[in-house]
Amino acid sequence: MTSYAEFYRRSIEEPDAFWREQAQLIDWQTPPQQICDYSQPPFARWFVGGTTNLCHNAVDRHLANRAQNTALIAISTETDSERSYSYAELHAEVQRMAAALQALGVQKGDRVLIYMPMIAEAAFAMLACVRIGALHSVVFGGFAAGSLAARIEDAEPMVVVSADAGSRGGKVVPYKPLLDEAIAQSRHKPSAVLLVDRGLAPMQRQPGRDHDWAALRAQHLHTSVPCVWVEATHPSYTLYTSGTTGKPKGVQRDTGGYAVALAASMKHIFDGQPGQTFFTTSDIGWVVGHSYIIYAPLLAGMATVMYEGLPTRPHPGVWWSIVEKYRVTHMFSAPTAVRVLKKQDPSWLQKYRVDSLKALWLAGEPLDESTAQWISDALHVPIIDNYWQTESGWPILTLAQGVEPQTPRFGSPGKAMYGYRVKLVDDATGEELTAPNHKGVLAIEGPLPPGCMQTVWRDDARFVNTYWKSIPGRLIYSTFDWGIRDADGYYFILGRTDDVINVAGHRLGTREIEECIASHPNIAEVAVVGVADSLKGQAAMAFAVARDATGLDSPEARLKLEGEVMKLVDHQLGAVARPARVHFVNVLPKTRSGKLLRRALQAVAEGRDPGDLTTMEDPAALQQVRELLGR
């Protein structure tokens, strides 16, 4: 067996030969003529000249040998429904969706925005888009109208695919009113809306614009829609991620590089085989859902579980009942979910057979050692952390168990994955830190490997300026995370260097939350920071200065204003962005040059030493925060 060290070395020192081999894991209509074009750094073009199709590789190519094998298992504990689709059935449903989109005018290169709950039709829509060469832009179903409007305006979709409602914890969440409000707010107006009616909430339909999925599906039950072969560099989708400015960034992904990267990851990282079952407990609104609910398991010929519901409903053993029933071999979740389960009666883990599981992979936020140890003791399988980003599309740091089984180290997401030239660099000088256990910014030398973002949608300058110019004197990609590396090559992530926080695996830009709160008529100034949270990893906490503080001396008045601010964030950004608390202060701590001392606020909120405050304009500003928090 090849050692992982040798495997990694070859990917770095002989990248063309290495990735030419990996490219054989997928089907090409035209083989690539050039493996990597890095003539215009930092823009990397992978598998240039090759033509392929993501849907063909995920669905069609399996029809010859495993047409009747299970491809998609759609489970909703919210509606108490369960349905499995074979590869042949999935192929038929995707063609029906593709035909419906084409009937609504969608062609190669057009955008389709998908605002859907975790139902099978969402998977059909994503696969149908890439089948016909359209780009999908999936927006998390929990986002409010304001956030959705910003994404509609940026993506400029021809069609939006949505549903009457989602459901969470038994509570129906109507989607259609949010979508209507978002379209009203957006300067861009989609020409058509395709709606799945689940019968959960009434819908007002706009004549001429809104179309019923069931009716269009019935019209195209037997329509054949061939795959549109596209250049490897043709964009497959855009996915929005929070940034340090209020405007979300549209991460743009290619087709060929993404397909190769995911197929390779299933082989080398997850050791996945056709006929096995992959259960990822994320949502398609996030990158984990794109890569490891929809595309990677299907590329590998596996069955993938798509789950709508909570890990605790109807009971805290529901996930393990799914593992038992479907003989799940690979499970991918988040530390927050495990911490939720840790609070439940431990006997639920003994009620179901989970011996089919090879391992549990966790990602989304740092995995603490005690949580990892608890779930390891409960499941008796390897618990494998992994670290990556929306921008990378697949793991940057983990353990490649398909190359060489290695022992996880709790607290570490693992080692640098093949293809990633991972470095730790000094944020002030750009100098590479090679000695063990030296804290630096986790950075990646170009070219980024296949599957990583091509650019920011319609904004090459933002791609370069945001990711490649933050390290002095070097054109190098910054992850904006601090890290250290031990003597054996295991990395440990120490937190963000920028103003993006991680709440239960969801990346949120504090600037976006601040702009929302500042729109309240009685808020003069606000700072939002991420504060350590035992359950979610981090929670947003806001500190605000009122324009009119009259009456805010009473707890009731402060609670009333706090409630108004919370409701505003819910309405504009969605509950996922709602701060855990909004504290009202007389003045925010700033430097003499006027810069907000967010790091000092965060330190005080977490009970830590705020460090050097010699540049602070008003030392009393932090004292009020300490008193408010009882520090």
State the helix-helix crossing angle for 15-22 and 4-13, rounded to 10 degrees: 110
* pLDDT tens digit sequence for 196-207: 999 999 999 999
Q: What is the pLDDT of residue 306?
A: 98
Q: What is the pLDDT of residue 37?
A: 98
* pLDDT tens digit sequence for 191-230: 999 999 999 999 999 999 999 999 999 999 999 999 999 9
% residues pLDDT > 70 (the chain): 96
Torsion angle of C-alpha atoms 372, 378, 381, 382, degrees rounded to 10 = 10
Statement: residue 392 has pLDDT above 90? yes
Mean pLDDT confidence for 532-555: 85
Q: Does domain 504-629 have CATH number 3.30.300.30?
A: yes
Q: What is the pLDDT of residue 68?
A: 98
Q: What is the pLDDT of residue 353?
A: 95
Q: What is the pLDDT of residue 336?
A: 80
Q: How many CA atoms lie within 13 A of 250 on its CB side?
A: 27
Statement: residue 234 has pLDDT above 60? yes
**Position 534 confidence tier, pLDDT thresholds 50, 70, 90:** confident
Give dist(CA 484, CA 433) in Å, integer. 9
Give dist(CA 620, CA 622) in Å, integer. 6
Statement: residue 1 has pLDDT above 80? no
440 in Cβ contact with 433 (< 8 Å): yes
What values do phi and psi take at 380, rounded to 5? Answer: 60, 35
Q: What is the pLDDT of residue 382?
A: 93
Statement: residue 8 has pLDDT above 90? yes
Statement: residue 49 has pLDDT above 70? yes
Q: What is the pLDDT of residue 617?
A: 60
Query: Can you say whether residue 261 is alpha, beta or left, with left for phi > 0 and alpha for psi between -120 and 50 degrees?
Result: alpha
Q: What is the pLDDT of residue 616?
A: 60
Statement: residue 371 has pLDDT above 70? yes
